[in-house]
């Protein structure tokens, strides 16, 4: 072993630099220039210190939530661009190699899927739950604030590995599911699958910890009187998602760890020979993978429940039904994983059992859709942006659910499995399902988080572009799938596919515009923030506890812990004239001090992952030592919390109550006007 | 909106109109694909019972109960009606029950492992998935072909599949089901072609750089022509033995494989003689410790 090997492992100039295609070089340049621009801006505006002390090391669940969402939006941008590149490739690759080399195309579908699931969807929903759930249950923070920061650090480390892989070396070509034996050394000897393994492993550990944290928070931190059956539905979906995370993420961690043993230690868990069995990987992966899709969709269901209720000015219809349906989906989600591989050669009866189990999920899902419909029934509906997303969701999700049940028929699945029909289906449930839910959540809770409303016109533009883009991009894929086009193909030879791929490319272009619109939406809103301030904190005439405090909320959330007597407590208080009361007494509030443990573990994760990927053992060991050292050092820290004295809480709270008294209540007709200062007219609608 | 079944039927017609002949289930070439298409239509029709009301009620409710100018009554505390719970839970339960009965009763019919009826005894074909081409061995006829599959019309075909490389999924859309081929394992697939023609077969499981070119020319021919195909194989004079198999199994494109055997890219790579037991030995080599497997390989 030469010194060079020891220092750099498999990392050589040739292997590392992304000069295998002009497009890859350009992409890497954008990442590098972007990162440099961030560094320059942070330095120029002297933001390093506040970034570190107020954000990165913060243990405040609200800030951690916001950082998760920022991470998700950054990763969303990359993955959407990748999607557009793939659609553009297929639009021009009828009997022609197109503009992307096959290997680059394969990296694109792998990174697109991996990012969208692990580094867009998961951080997005984790961020939204992080922000809203503790406020909704009347908690001051999550149960384990430090663990929360560690989860974020690990997830961000995985995302960082994804970004590094764009600049140094190549990524896996094995798809987001990373099936062996293709991802074994025999067929993928390069470092691509290693990048994938470590990025996904970091993210899966982060998500397991998040699940534990959220579930314990919901069980232990609810305000007095907040019985489980008084929780807002979003909290129920957060609870179910957390439980799913706890049980579903470990199989993934195990699967990637075993695959790593195959690749690093010469083991034979999933190799062709030596007693390995790919079927074990596939089972383990989907034992995670199927609950995962409900991890993704349930929080969005929760958001829609809040949105339908709030913007119909009406309590949720069939609350208990919705809770039972959510629970049923969570339980059933563990019983259906086999439908991802009906074509693996198991018997007809096994397939039938799993097919029927899958269809059973359609029942609670159908119930939910009707409960939301009946929430609108006899309401007073305001077509605010979140509700537009919710309406678009219901209509398009009905189609996605239907194609899901089609796929659950083993007999039909034998035909459409592995075709773009499947691709159309899961985008149909994830874009109008998950992504619309998250965008609705942004529009809905943004004013709470930042103290001003987002621009409605741009919000509507985002909705229109994403809806049209989705329909144009993915409806043709249903047709293409029925016509037999396999997924992940860089080139095709049937003229019949051509028109559909062109339509799909047009849709992808609309989605790209939709992405720009998201940027414009945020940018314009920030510029107009002074016209849209809602310091009173209740811009939508909200029903649940998070609207009862200032916007943005104080670090300790509730000056006095609320007493809960029923569902939609804040609406009850407003209607009963009990909202914004001056409490008799205040008490000291203990809040966590910031900590560098989360970011340090994230850095350790990057070092470890990068070192392992390139066989730079000193770096991997260094990362591991750093993480162990960080944890040990933390155990010596005695002062982990600080006390906000009752007097200070009183001052802040009474100052806010004083400002409230000067605000004019806004009716729902003024909802998107500057006169909506976040104090809602308590007329019930 | 209420005309969705009509639109769906129209879509299928339009789709099958522009489908190239022999490329998909919308133009079924065999009984399995035809059954799958019919099942698809029935399943969609059944689910319309739940989906259509959503398409009607969402716009209707949104309009009727809109804040400005809506004419619906406002009942902010109306949150539950027992009488509605029955259809809300009952209708989806009934539909899923109907679909479940369909799955339970028809799944065995469409089971890829189930032999199909037809003219004559099933034609046995052993399929070896290689990177990036399919090898077809006709064990009874002692011939083999690569990237080319000839089958007689009307006669059921019984495929036995394995892989000597990555996991792949063998699929002839116009004929019916697909099934995985995995190293060291054997899967089965039964298909029957009912019309003459040239169909497209493909691997649908991504397996590397030349995945998109891993297609199979499937020739469905009358019995007489099938006999001519067998003769064509024998005339080609190549022998598929361990050494020629090693040439085939090199991880490379079909075109390269043909070149290795001195054929142009559009040439037909056929073998007139196949060493007995080759297929079993390809599976057995992944089980070096398993004596029964090895014996089976030798006995064949």
Same domain, yes or no: B105 and B132: no
Question: Do B236 and B105 lie in a common domain?
Answer: no
Q: Which residue has the higher pLDDT, A240 or B46?
A: A240
A14 in a structural domain: no
Chain B residues closer than 8 Å to A344 by CB: 180, 182, 187
Q: Which residues, in sequence order, are CB contacts of A550 under 8 Å at separation 6+?
A: A535, A536, A537, A656
My answer on whether A460 and A523 are in the same domain is yes
Q: pLDDT tier at A523 (50, 70, 90 boundaries)?
A: very high
Length of chain A: 685
Q: Is residue A211 part of a domain?
A: yes
Greater model confidence, A682 or B133? B133
Instruction: Please name every residue paired with A152 in a beta bridge, in sequence order, or none if there are none.
Output: none
Q: At which of B110, B137, B167 does a domain end? A: B110
Judging contacts by C-beta atoms under 8 Å, the chain B residues touching residue A391 are 58, 62
Q: Strand B148-152 and strand B143-146: pairing?
A: unpaired
- B245 lies in a domain? yes
Q: How confident is the model at residue B14 (pLDDT cuts 50, 70, 90)?
A: low
Of B75, B96, B179, the CB nearest to A360: B96
CA A512 to chain B, closest CA, distance in angstroms equals 26
Task: Identify from B170, B211, B218, B289 which residue to disrupt to test chain A contact, counting A C-beta atoms within 10 A and taking the largest count.
Answer: B211
At A421, list the tokens: 């029909």
What is the pLDDT averaged over residues A573-586?
92
CATH number of the CATH domain containing A465 = 1.20.210.10
CB pairs under 8 A between A and B: 292
Domain for residue A3, yes or no? no
Last residue of a domain, one of B110, B132, B158: B110
Query: Of A394, A415, A432, which to mutate for an interface test with B (greatest number of B Cβ within 10 Å)?
Result: A415
The verdict on a CB contact (< 8 Å) between B15 and A379 is no
Q: Which of A270, A256, A266 is nearest to A202 (CA)?
A: A256
For residue B267, with 0-12 CB atoms within 10 Å meaning exposed, 13-18 middle and 19 or more buried, which class applies? middle
- Is B117 within the bounds of a domain? no
The percent of residues in chain A predicted with pLDDT above 90, rounded, is 94
The answer to whether A84 and A33 have CB atoms below 8 angstroms apart is no
Same structural domain, A501 and A562: no
Whether B183 maps to a domain, the answer reads yes
Are B24 and A482 in contact (CB < 8 Å)?
yes
Preceding peptide of A507 cis, ω within 30°: no
CB B166 within 8 A of CB B200: no
For A270, name the nearest residue in chain B, comparing CA atoms only: B183
Q: In terms of domains, do A526 and A550 share one?
A: no
The reply to whether A247 and A347 lie within a common domain is yes
| Interchain contact, B209 vs A102, CB within 8 Å | yes
Domain boundary among B110, B132, B151: B110
Residues in Cβ contact with A624 at an 8 Å cutoff, skipping those fewer than 6 apart: A604, A608
pLDDT at position A41 over 90: yes
| CA distances to A437, A646, B243 from A651, in Å | 37, 9, 88
Q: Say whether A496 and B23 touch across the interface (CB within 8 A).
A: yes
Is 90 exceeded by the pLDDT of residue A121? yes
Beta carbons of A181 and B166 less than 8 Å apart: yes
The pLDDT of residue A147 is 97
**What is the percentage of chain A residues whose pLDDT exceeds 70?**
100
Q: What is the mean pLDDT of residues B258-267?
A: 95
Residue A685: is its pLDDT beyond 90? no
pLDDT at B102: 87
Asked whether residue B43 falls in the same domain as residue B81, the answer is yes
Query: Does residue A191 carry a pLDDT above 70?
Result: yes
d(CA A303, CA A18): 41
Does B197 share its domain with B57?
no
Nearest to A411 among B39, B113, B169 (CB): B39
Q: How confident is the model over A173-179, as a mean pLDDT?
A: 96
**Residue of chain B whose alpha carbon sits nearest to that of A412:** B36
Asked if B58's CB is within 8 angstroms of A373's CB, the reply is yes
Look at residue A476 and tell me if it is in a domain: yes
Around Cβ B12, how many Cβ atoms within 10 Å? 17
Whether A457 and A408 map to the same domain: the answer is yes
- How many Å lie between the alpha carbon of B214 and the closest alpha carbon of chain A? 10
Give the separation between CA A108 and CA A345, rounded to whole angstroms. 30
Residues A580 and A471 in one domain: no
Residue A398: its chain B contacts at CB < 8 A?
Answer: 50-51, 54-55
- Pair B135, B98 in one domain: no
Task: Judge if A328 and A446 occupy the same domain.
Answer: yes
Do B172 and B151 touch, CB atoms closer than 8 A? Answer: no
CB nearest to A345's CB, from B84, B92, B187: B187
* ipTM over 0.95 threshold: no
What pLDDT is recorded for position B22? Answer: 57
Packing angle between helix A61-92 and helix A102-114, nearest 10 degrees?
A: 150
Q: Is the pLDDT of residue B207 over 70?
A: yes
Strand B133-138 with B123-130, pairing: antiparallel
Under 8 Å between Cβ of A137 and A214: no
Which domain covers residue B163, as residue numbers? 123-299
Strands B215-221 and B197-203, bridge-based pairing: antiparallel
Q: Predicted confidence band at B300 (pLDDT cuts at 50, 70, 90)?
A: very low
Residue A25, in any domain of the structure: no
Domain CATH number, residue B246 = 2.60.40.420
Let me know if residue B116 belongs to a domain: no
Q: Residue A296 falls within a domain, yes or no?
A: yes
Average pLDDT for A105-133: 97
CA distance A132 to chain B (A): 24
Look at residue B19 and tell me if it is in a domain: yes
Chain B residues whose CB is inside 8 A of the A352 CB are 103-104, 107-108
Please tell me whether residues B102 and B149 are part of one structural domain: no
- Whether the per-residue pLDDT at B29 is higher than 60: the answer is yes
Give the total number of structural domains in chain A.
3
Structural domain includes residue A16 = no
pLDDT in tens, B184-201: 999 999 999 999 999 999
CA distance A246 to chain B (A): 29
At A245, is the pLDDT very low, low, confident or very high (cuts 50, 70, 90)? very high
Strand ranges (E), A285-425: none
- Determine whether the interchain pair A381/B78 forms a contact, defined as Cβ–Cβ distance below 8 Å: no
Look at A399 and B51 and tell me if their CB atoms are within 8 Å.
Answer: yes
pLDDT of residue B1: 38
User: Packing angle between helix A122-136 and helix A233-265, nearest 10 degrees?
Assistant: 140
- Shared-domain flag, residues B53 and B147: no
Specify the residue for token string 């414009």: A520
**In terms of domains, do B146 and B254 share one?**
yes
| Separation of first and last alpha carbons in chain B | 61
**Length reported for chain B:** 300
Instruction: Give the minimum alpha-carbon distance from B127 to chain A in angstroms, rounded to a whole number.
Output: 15
The pLDDT of residue B3 is above 50 = no
Measured between CA atoms, how close is A405 to chain B, in angstroms?
Answer: 8
CA distance B114 to chain A (A): 9
Question: Are A395 and B58 an interchain contact pair (Cβ–Cβ within 8 Å)?
Answer: yes
Kindly state whether residues A465 and A553 are assigned to the same domain: no
Domain co-membership, A615 together with A659 = no
According to DSSP, the residues that pair with B171 across neighbouring strands are B178, B202
Q: Name the residue among A373, A395, A417 with its Cβ closest to that of B178.
A: A417
A567 and A513, same domain (yes or no): no
Token pair for A452 = 């001003």
One domain, residues B151 and B90: no
Q: CA-to-CA distance for B56 and B66, rounded, in angstroms?
A: 16
Cβ separation of B67 and A668 shorter than 8 Å? yes
**Contacts A369 to B, Cβ<8 Å:** 54
pLDDT score recorded for residue B17: 54
CB contact under 8 A, B74 and A685: yes
Task: Kindly state whether residue A84 falls inside one of the protein's structural domains.
Answer: yes
**Which pLDDT does position B105 carry in this prediction?**
85
Q: Which runs of E-coded beta strand occur in chain B? A: 123-130, 133-138, 143-146, 148-152, 157-163, 168-171, 178-181, 187-191, 197-203, 215-221, 239-240, 269-271, 273-274
Q: Per the CB < 8 Å rule, is A378 touching B85?
A: no
Find out whether the peptide bond into A181 is cis, omega within 30 degrees of 0. yes
Q: Do B71 and B93 have their domain in common?
A: yes
The predicted structure's pLDDT at residue A5: 84
pLDDT digits (tens, 9 = 90+) for A297-314: 999 999 999 999 999 999
State yes or no: pLDDT of A484 exceeds 50: yes
Nearest to A405 among B43, B163, B180 (CB): B43
The torsion angles phi and psi of B289, rounded to 5 degrees, stand at -85, -10
List the single residue in A with minimal CA-CA distance to B4: A399
The average confidence (pLDDT) of chain B is 89
> Are A343 and B77 in contact (CB < 8 Å)?
no
How many structural domains are present in chain B? Answer: 2
Q: Does the residue B49 lie in any domain?
A: yes
Residue A147: name the closest of A209, A199, A81, A85 by CA. A209
- pLDDT of A379 > 50? The answer is yes
Q: How far apart are CA B289 and CA B298, in angstroms?
A: 15
Best of B2, B17, B19, B24 to disrupt the A interface (most A CBs within 10 Å) is: B24
In chain B, residues with a C-beta closer than 8 Å to the C-beta of A409 are 39, 43, 99, 102-103
Q: What is the mean pLDDT of chain A?
A: 95
For residues B150-174, average pLDDT: 97
Burial state string for B56-91 with b = 16 or more CB within 10 A and e = fewer than 16 = ebbebbbebbbbeebebebebebbbeeebbeebbeb
Q: Name the pLDDT band for A10 (thresholds 50, 70, 90).
A: confident
Residues A529 and A540 in one domain: no
Q: What is the mean pLDDT of residues A35-39?
A: 94
Q: Residue A181 above 70 pLDDT?
A: yes
Residues spanned by the domain of A111: 47-533
According to the model, what pLDDT value does residue A250 have?
Answer: 95
A231 and A327 both lie in a single domain: yes
User: Does B91 lie in the same domain as B14?
Assistant: yes
- Determine whether A161 is exposed, middle or buried from the number of CB atoms within 10 Å of its CB (0-12, 13-18, 19+): buried
């Amino acid at each position: 072993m030469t010194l060079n090997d020891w220092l750099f492992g498999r990392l050589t100039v040739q292997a590392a630099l992304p000069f295998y295609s002009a497009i890859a070089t350009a992409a890497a340049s954008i990442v590098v220039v972007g990162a440099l621009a961030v560094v320059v801006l942070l330095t120029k505006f002297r933001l390093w210190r506040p970034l570190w002390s107020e954000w990165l090391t913060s243990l405040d669940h609200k800030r951690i939530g916001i950082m998760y969402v920022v991470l998700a939006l950054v990763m969303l941008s990359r993955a959407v661009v990748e999607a557009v590149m793939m659609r553009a490739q297929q639009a021009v690759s009828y009997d022609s190699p197109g503009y992307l080399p096959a290997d680059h195309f394969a990296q694109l579908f792998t990174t697109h899927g991996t990012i969208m699931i692990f580094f867009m969807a998961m951080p997005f929903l984790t961020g939204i739950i992080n922000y809203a759930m503790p406020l909704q249950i009347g908690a001051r923070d999550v149960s384990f604030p430090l663990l929360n920061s560690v989860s974020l650090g690990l997830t961000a480390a995985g995302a960082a590995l994804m970004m590094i892989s764009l600049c140094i070396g190549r990524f896996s070509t094995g798809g987001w599911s990373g099936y062996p034996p293709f991802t074994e050394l025999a067929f993928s000897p390069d470092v691509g699958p290693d990048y994938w393994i470590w990025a996904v492993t970091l993210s899966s550990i982060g998500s397991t910890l998040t699940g534990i944290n959220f579930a314990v928070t919901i069980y232990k931190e609810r305000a007095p009187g907040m019985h489980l059956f008084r929780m807002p539905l979003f909290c129920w979906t957060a609870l179910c998602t957390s439980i799913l995370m706890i049980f579903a993420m470990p199989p993934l961690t195990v699967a990637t760890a075993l695959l790593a043993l195959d690749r690093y230690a010469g083991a034979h868990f999933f190799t062709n020979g030596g007693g390995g069995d790919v079927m074990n990987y596939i089972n383990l992966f989907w034992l995670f993978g199927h609950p995962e899709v409900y991890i993704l969709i349930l929080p969005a269901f929760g958001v829609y429940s809040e949105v339908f209720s709030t913007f119909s000015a009406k309590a949720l219809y069939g609350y208990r039904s919705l809770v039972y349906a959510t629970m049923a989906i969570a339980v059933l989600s563990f019983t259906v994983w086999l439908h991802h591989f009906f074509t693996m050669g198991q018997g007809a009866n096994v397939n039938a059992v799993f097919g029927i189990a899958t269809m059973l999920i359609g029942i609670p899902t159908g119930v939910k859709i009707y409960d939301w419909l009946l929430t609108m029934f006899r309401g007073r509906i305001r077509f605010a942006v979140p509700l537009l997303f919710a309406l678009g969701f219901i209509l398009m999700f009905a189609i996605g659910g239907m194609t899901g049940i089609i796929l659950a028929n083993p007999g039909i699945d034998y035909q459409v499995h592995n075709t773009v029909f499947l691709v159309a289906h899961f985008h149909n449930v994830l874009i109008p399902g998950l992504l619309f839910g998250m965008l609705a959540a942004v529009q809905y809770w943004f004013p709470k988080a930042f103290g001003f409303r987002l621009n409605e016109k741009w919000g509507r533009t985002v909705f229109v572009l994403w809806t049209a883009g989705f329909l144009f991009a993915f409806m043709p894929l249903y047709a293409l799938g029925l016509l037999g086009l396999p997924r992940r193909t860089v080139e095709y030879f049937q003229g019949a596919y051509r028109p559909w791929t062109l339509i799909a490319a047009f849709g992808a272009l609309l989605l790209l515009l939709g992405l720009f619109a998201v940027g414009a939406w945020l940018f314009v809103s920030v510029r107009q923030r002074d016209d849209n301030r809602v310091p009173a904190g209740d811009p939508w005439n909200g029903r649940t506890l998070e609207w009862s405090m200032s916007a943005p909320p104080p670090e300790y959330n509730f000056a006095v812990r609320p007493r809960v007597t029923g569902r939609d407590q804040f609406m009850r208080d407003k209607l009963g004239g009990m909202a914004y009361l001056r409490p008799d007494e205040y008490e000291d509030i203990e809040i966590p001090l910031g900590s560098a443990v989360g970011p340090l573990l994230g850095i350790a994760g990057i070092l470890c992952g990068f070192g392992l990927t390139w066989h730079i053992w000193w770096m991997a060991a260094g990362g591991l030592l750093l993480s162990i050292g960080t944890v040990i050092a933390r155990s010596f820290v005695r002062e982990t919390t600080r006390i906000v004295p009752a007097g200070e809480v009183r001052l802040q709270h009474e100052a806010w109550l004083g400002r409230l008294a000067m605000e004019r209540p806004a009716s729902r007709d003024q909802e998107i006007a500057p006169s909506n200062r976040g104090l809602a007219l308590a007329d019930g609608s | 909106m209420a005309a969705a079944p009509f639109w769906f039927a129209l879509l299928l017609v339009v789709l099958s109109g522009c489908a190239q002949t022999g490329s998909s289930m919308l133009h079924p070439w065999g009984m399995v694909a035809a059954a799958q298409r019919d099942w698809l239509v029935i399943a969609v029709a059944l689910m319309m019972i739940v989906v259509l009301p959503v398409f009607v009620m969402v716009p209707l409710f949104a309009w009727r109960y809109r804040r400005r100018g809506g004419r619906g009554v406002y009942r902010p505390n109306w949150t539950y009606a027992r009488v509605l719970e029955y259809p809300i839970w009952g209708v989806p339960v009934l539909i899923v029950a109907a679909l479940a009965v369909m799955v339970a009763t028809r799944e065995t019919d469409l089971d890829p492992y189930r032999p199909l009826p037809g003219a004559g005894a099933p034609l046995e074909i052993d399929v070896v998935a290689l990177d990036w081409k399919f090898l077809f061995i006709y064990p009874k006829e002692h011939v083999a072909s690569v990237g080319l599959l000839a089958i007689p019309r009307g006669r059921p075909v019984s495929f036995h599949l394995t892989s000597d490389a990555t996991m792949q999924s063998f699929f002839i859309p116009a004929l019916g089901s697909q099934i995985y081929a995995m190293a060291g394992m054997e899967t089965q697939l039964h298909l029957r072609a009912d019309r003459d023609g040239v169909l497209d077969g493909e691997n649908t499981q991504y397996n590397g750089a030349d995945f998109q070119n891993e297609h199979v020319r499937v020739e469905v021919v009358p019995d007489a022509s099938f006999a001519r195909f067998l003769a064509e194989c024998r005339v080609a004079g190549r022998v598929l033995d361990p050494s020629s198999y090693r040439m085939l199994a090199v991880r490379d494109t079909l075109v390269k494989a043909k070149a290795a055997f001195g054929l142009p890219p559009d040439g037909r790579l056929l073998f007139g003689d196949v060493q007995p037991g080759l297929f079993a030995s390809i599976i057995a080599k992944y089980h070096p410790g398993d004596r029964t497997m090895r014996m089976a390989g030798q006995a064949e």
